[in-house]
A and B are shown apart, each in its own frame.
Chain A
Amino acid sequence: MNKRMALVIDLNKCVGCHACATNCKAWNTGGDYGPLTDVEPYGKNPDGVWFNRVQTYEVGKYPNTEILYLPKSCMHCKDAPCVKVCPTSATYKRESDGIVLVNYEECIGCKYCSWACPYGCREFDDYDGVMKKCTLCVDRIYNENLPEEERQPACVLACPTRARTFGNINDPESEAAVKIKERNGYKLMPEVSTSPSNHYLPKQKVKIQIDEDEILTRKHVIVETEKKVSSYAEVTSDDIAVP
């Protein structure tokens, strides 16, 4: 079976720090699929191409609300609508690993692929006149000049909470596939039959069982420690023997 490389993003761990987005931008703007052009980056209305954006939603009604951070980049769909509509075959899906890429040399910049994408994960580069999108850092993951542990997408390496896992989801033994299975990983817009490769692990309400005895024991320990500390505090310089 061919590989199907994908990102598995744990929404329970994501803290919305945008490190994945900024590291993605930093790597890719100088990588094989760059530059990610910026327009007025320090101006009043900054604009530019990003492969990855983190959106923030508030879920629930006050006071029972919670924040959901949704990092979103190309889903590398199995049945990618952007590939089907491209009039020049500039957008293509690699059979070997399922990554959807754009050949900038062939792209005419008609934007049709972006209309066909329900996730809004393609961005037009006004400067180059071509459509750009996440490449799953294809110039990193097979790059033999990098140490093996660094052959991962830039967003995965940057995540401080390790919310992102990268791997072949067609391999049931891979960490990514195991996480999807164990944590009920889901796809965005499952009903539109694009079959996205990227999966999200749902937010969970963490509940732990604490017995009353356990609380008492802990309390006891704290009390003991406090006593010790207080006894140390009572020691004065007069009590210290000077040799």
Chain B
Amino acid sequence: MIYVHQIAAVSPQRDLLVETIDEVNESVNNILKVVEPPYEGIPLSILRRMGKAVRMGVGAALPLIKNTTVPLNGIVIGTANGGMEDCIKFLNQVIEFEEGTLTPTNFVQSTPNAIAAQLSLLSSNKGYNITHVNRGLAFENALLDVWMLLKENPSHTYLLGGVEEISSYNYNIDHLANWFKDEEVSNKKLYHSTSKGTLSGEGAAMFIVNNDPQDAIAKIDALHLMHAEDVSEVKSQLIHFLNKHLGKGELVDVFLSGESGDIRFVSFFQNCEHHMKDSTIARFKHLTGDFATVSALSLNIACQVVNKNILPDHLIKINRHKHSVNTVLIYNLHKGVQHSFMLVRK
């Protein structure tokens, strides 16, 4: 297990546990863009060169690093695409200027590891520094990496994070591939939609984690990743996961589902929900939209839910809330193939 000590996020919402649906920021043209903070603490000379992914990642992580009282032994980030917008700008320049003199900034900012690297430079952290880019399981693989690092080095503390930006290039390609909806659907009515595709989102979520239970706000008790296209296989893996990680007679208080409004994948979530008969069923993608590392934002939500013991009504699909929330099981699905379970406890 891993203990979470600090969390921060840059997301399409000012607060991921916003109290009412009226306060939820609405999508525009099926896109939920982040509400960017003032980014205090990042020198202006550095900020002006940052692409959006780097800006969001550094903006979310830097305050955590500054607040951490124990030395940070490493920075582990998950991002499927990194700074895709700057990458495309750079590639377009190669064509436009016929492979002549090229400006380096877009190239430097566009590599996925620019986020972890910039954090290392800004905080003078010379520890472990790595970026996982495993598409829809990039954040989960970052978490798995930290998990193994903490087994090897039980006294260490790490910064763990997930970041993704919307680039027009990626949005257009994914839209053509039917991953986003053709008709305009508001995020506030996302789960009523009966068409294929979902809404595009972006964001960054950062966590300071270690093995120390003292003053922790939550603990990540178990993690499971899988590739599957078969609904029954996912359900059987869920049953196996619960049998392995829950105590006898123990129940999950909240099942936080990554249901995305894509009619093609509703059966995955319904099958899992049928097995969670005693749990409150909640959903979060109307707050975040969908993207490869959205599970990092879902982990932020789960940590807040167990820590503050609040679950706003607009997240709830089926309410079976009987007592305080001690256990949240997150189930996320990316593009119908990459699945993950994360068990979060108080």
Are A and B interaction partners? no
